[in-house]
Amino acid sequence: MNRPPEALSEAALAVIAEEEALLTRVQTTLEAARHKAGRDQENRGLVAQLQVLRDDAASAAVADLPHLFFQMDQTRALLDRQETSQLPDSQAPYFAHLRLHGEAGPRDYLLGRATFADVSAGVRVIDWRFAPIARVFYSYEEGDAYEEQFGERLAEGTVEVRRLVVIERGVLTRIISGALVLERDAHGAWHEVGRAQSALQAGGAGSAARPGMLGTGKGARRMEDAFGVTALLDAEQYEAVSVDPTQPLLVLGSAGSGKTTVALHRLAKIAFDNLEQFPQSRMKLIVPEPGLARLSRRLLAPLGLGRVSVETLDGWLLSTARSAFDLPGIKLSPETPPLVSRLKRHPALRRALLGRIGAPKTPQGTTLERVHRRLADAYLDRSFLEAVVRDARGELPSTAIDETLEHTRLQRSTPLAKELKDITDPERLITVDGKGIEDDTPYALAGTVDLEDLPILMFLKAQHGSLGLERLAHVVLDEAEDFSLFELFVVRRLLGKGKSCTLAGDEMQQTEAGFAGWPEALDELGIRDAATCRLQVSYRCPAPVVELARRVLGTQAPSESAQALRAGAPVGFHHFPVEAQAQLFVGEALRDLVSREPHASVGVIASSPESADAVYRVVADQSWARRVKDGEFSFEPGVDVTDVGSVKGLEFDYVILPDVTARAWPVDDESRRRLHVAITRTSHQLWVVSSGVRSHLISPEAGAAAPR
């Protein structure tokens, strides 16, 4: 502390002094441990750690022995597996301080991402994945009496201290102790702030007073917290994270309630507790979109899960189908018409297909070509398609029938190259604009397979026997409502007899019709007995955003509404007579915001890629503006201009919806869910911009907050 923190209470001063002294002690002890272990072993943190533990055990009090022995066992086990591990990072060695008063008196424990102890110095840094202590931290409040099983014995006592601490570049910058929130400013002075303003509270309060002003001040400076959300898991989330690794788990909750957070932390804990049974090489995370895949990779790395494979649904389908059919490549159609895609992913097709096609009878009948031919025969059978559409009960329009018939005919047609085989001069097969003669013509579809067909083809092949796929130890499906029953069928095959998986989902976020429902999805995976957790708190979005999102859903909204944690800024509604005015307004607002809050992340989420292109034009010359396609988000401060089809699972400090018109967002269930997804990407403040005729989904008649 450089300046006397006059305004602080005695209690606050005592907390600061205690935490600063503790940090200094940990850093000094860590330094000594590094030194002791020798420089050549710096990368072998485990060896150093074991040495420290042995020395400690020699002089430790009896009450500390069980804990020390347990740690030594764990450390030895890791060494046996030739794992390398670091001592805690002195720059950010832990994220929480717990003082337990048990039979042997008070003991301080610090929670971090590695385990390290020097009992004689009173330093015990515990990995958050290490059950007994972590369970007390996540499940009890300060002042609570606890009772937990520590190894063989039952430990009882009181939680004397439970504090969250943020250490940035080796300096203590925040302490949260119940209602007391202390922050250190850039000059080193400590201040007491309201808990709601703490950035640790899922991104800050968002205190902008007016909807007409974009910006809450929270994106003005950058906070660096090496531990992120691990420190903040609530008791319910921790319980879900700790579900037995062999158990399937379904994590449900509204947008931003921490489903992804729970799924990834569960993965980290499973890998920590059962390294042999669940090696990272046999765990996989599958997500529907590339943006979320990128984000998940970023979130996995600090959890020590950098080797877990993260795949998009499309990428996973293609690689799995290539293995299942033992093919180096599969010629995919350039694009499946949306209605055809919807029919092929619909549960009604799953129900009808086996009755129409039946299982292949011989191994020869299971090649991709043969199975695809039989599938195409079904797609060319009008009465079969009519039955599927009928069974979909209004979720598939009857036009899907003709579209599927036509699309399949083109796919079954003879490739042009074959018809033109007599032309031997390759130059004559190139068009004037340099493209191949089939490109951009219906012939481009000849001989292709739709991506949506791949799980169906694997499903058909599997009716005859094994798919020959390498088994996985654990699979996480994020945004699981986006997986078709056929895709879930293939996941089941990957898991084999083991059922260890985590599904995170929210049916309100399905962006196209045709989700079968959770009981059917679990049934398809063979995990009807999955443990289910329902997360209740909306951590991402402030209350006005949660409220608008709910109203946009209309009658689809779940009866139990999520609980918003923060009041936050009101939603801003801005309407203009013409589109160009709306776009210019968005451009100006962005310029202004970025100049005031250069560290903020801003998502401009349009209804379609074309609309995103149009909005981007007004800011294209700005260095901070990015037109993000194919999920290539950088997660850096600045403005990402994108569309609703790319943002599932992501979040931005500020969200602007630039085109909330009646045409872009019509009144139907799918549109409601898509708008709901766009709205709930907001962590501080939302602006809804419209022109011409405003979407009725946000009009007062729809029950939404009244636009200005």
For the annotated binding site for ATP, the residues are 253-260
Contact 478, 491 (CB under 8 A): no
182: exposed, middle or buried (C-beta count within 10 Å: 0-12, 13-18, 19+)? buried
* 255 belongs to the binding site for ligand ATP (CB under 6 A): yes
Q: Which stretch binds ligand ATP (CB under 6 A): 10-18, 212-220, 229-237, 510-518?
A: 229-237
Contact between residue 204 and residue 216 where contact means Cβ atoms under 8 Å apart = yes
Cβ closest to ligand ATP, residue 78 vs residue 240: 240
288 is a contact residue toward ligand ATP (CB under 6 A): no
User: Residue 237 interacts with ligand ATP (CB under 6 A)?
Assistant: yes
Site for ligand ATP (CB under 6 A): which residue of 206, 649, 658, 707? Answer: 649
Residue numbers 515-534 binding ligand ATP by CB under 6 A: none
Torsion angle of the four alpha carbons 131, 137, 141, 142, in this order, in degrees rounded to the nearest 10: 130
| Cβ closest to ligand ATP, residue 272 vs residue 539 | 539
Q: Could you say whether residue 651 binds ligand ATP (CB under 6 A)?
A: yes
Count of CB atoms situated within 10 Å of the CB of 25: 15
Decide whether 68 or 202 has the Cβ nearer to ligand ATP: 202
Q: Which of these ranges, 101-109, 230-238, 278-286, 435-443, lies near ligand ATP under the rule CB under 6 A?
A: 230-238
Q: Which stretch binds ligand ATP (CB under 6 A): 136-144, 228-236, 510-518, 556-564?
A: 228-236
State the binding string over 538-577 for ligand ATP (x if CB under 6 A, else -).
Answer: -xx-------------------------------------
Cα–Cα distance for residue pair 585/605, rounded to 1 Å: 15
Give whichever of 395 and 651 is closer to ligand ATP, judged by the CB atom: 651
Which part of the chain contacts ligand ATP (CB under 6 A), choosing from 16-24, 145-153, 232-240, 407-415? Answer: 232-240
**Residues comprising the chain, all counted:** 708
Residue 615 CB-density burial (10 A; 0-12 exposed, 13-18 middle, 19+ buried): buried
Q: Could you say whether residue 253 binds ligand ATP (CB under 6 A)?
A: yes
Residue 198 in the binding site for ligand ATP (CB under 6 A): no
Minimum CB separation from ligand ATP for residue 272, in Å?
19
8 Å CB contact between 30 and 90? yes
From the list 261, 296, 671, 695, which residue makes contact with ligand ATP (rule: CB under 6 A)?
A: 261
Q: Which residue is nearest to ligand ATP (CB)?
A: 258
Whose Cβ is closer to ligand ATP: residue 114's or residue 564's?
Answer: 564
Phi and psi, residue 683, nearest 5°: -105, -20
Of 540 and 626, the one with the shorter C-beta distance to ligand ATP is 540
The number of angstroms, rounded, from the C-alpha of 73 to the middle of its chain's C-alpha atoms is: 34
Residue 648: CA count within 13 A, CB half-sphere = 26
Measured from the CB atom, the residue of 237 and 280 that comes closer to ligand ATP is 237
* Binding region for ligand ATP (CB under 6 A) out of 213-221, 254-262, 306-314, 426-434: 254-262
Both structure tokens of 369: 């070509």
The dihedrals phi and psi of 665, each to the nearest 5 degrees, come to -130, 75
The answer to whether the CB of 291 falls within 8 A of the CB of 503 is no
Closest CA to 321 of 357, 372, 281: 372
Residue 681 to residue 256: CA distance in whole angstroms: 8
Name the nearest CA neighbour of 112 among 167, 175, 159, 57.
167
For ligand ATP, which residue of 242, 260, 484, 583 counts as binding (CB under 6 A)?
260
Question: Mask of contacts with ligand ATP, 672-691, x by CB under 6 A?
Answer: --------x-----------
Only one of the segments 227-235, 361-369, 412-420, 494-502 lies at the binding site for ligand ATP (rule: CB under 6 A); that segment is: 227-235
Among the listed ranges 258-266, 344-352, 358-366, 371-379, the one in contact with ligand ATP (CB under 6 A) is 258-266
* 510 contacts ligand ATP (rule: CB under 6 A): no
202 binds ligand ATP (CB under 6 A): yes
Please say whether the dihedral angle defined by the alpha carbons of residues 162, 167, 601 and 240, taken in this order, is positive or negative.
negative
CB of 255 to ligand ATP, least distance (A): 4
How far is the C-alpha of 271 from the C-alpha of 647, rounded, in Å? 29
Minimum CB separation of residue 540 from ligand ATP in Å reads 4
3-state SS assignment for residue 326: coil
Q: Is 400 in the site for ligand ATP (CB under 6 A)?
A: no
- 290 in contact with ligand ATP (CB under 6 A): no
Residue 258 interacts with ligand ATP (CB under 6 A): yes or no: yes
Q: How far apart are CA 499 and CA 580, in angstroms?
A: 54
Residue 22: count of CB within 10 angstroms of its CB: 20
**Contact residue for ligand ATP among 108, 234, 239, 377 (CB under 6 A):** 234
CB of 191 to ligand ATP, least distance (A): 22
Site string for ligand ATP, 332-351 (x = CB under 6 A): --------------------
Using CB under 6 A as the binding rule, whether residue 601 contacts ligand ATP is answered as: no
Residue 218 interacts with ligand ATP (CB under 6 A): yes or no: no
Q: How far is CA 558 from CA 368, 665, 682, in A?
A: 42, 21, 20
Strands 531-535 and 625-627: unpaired
Closest CB 547 distance from ligand ATP, rounded Å: 17
DSSP 413: S
CA distance 196 to 685: 15
Separation CA 481–CA 475 (nearest Å): 15
Are the C-beta atoms of residues 485 and 455 closer than 8 Å to each other? Answer: no
Residue 654 interacts with ligand ATP (CB under 6 A): yes or no: no
User: Is residue 259 at the binding interface for ligand ATP, with CB under 6 A as the rule?
Assistant: yes
User: Total number of residues binding ligand ATP (CB under 6 A)?
Assistant: 21
CB 259 within 8 A of CB 237: no
Q: With respect to ligand ATP, which residue has the nearer C-beta, 457 or 508? A: 508
- Residue 603 within binding range of ligand ATP, rule CB under 6 A: no
Rounded CA gap, 284 and 476, in Å?
A: 6
Angstrom CA distances, 662 to 152, 586, 666, 698, stand at 64, 19, 5, 10
| Inter-residue contact 228 to 204 (CB < 8 Å) | no
Q: Does 239 bind ligand ATP (CB under 6 A)?
A: no
Q: Residue 78 or 657: which CB sits closer to ligand ATP?
A: 657
685 close to 652: Cβ distance less than 8 angstroms = no
Residue 522 tokens, joined = 């679990």
- Residue ranges binding ligand ATP (CB under 6 A): 202, 229, 232-234, 237, 253, 255-261, 506, 509, 539-540, 649, 651, 680
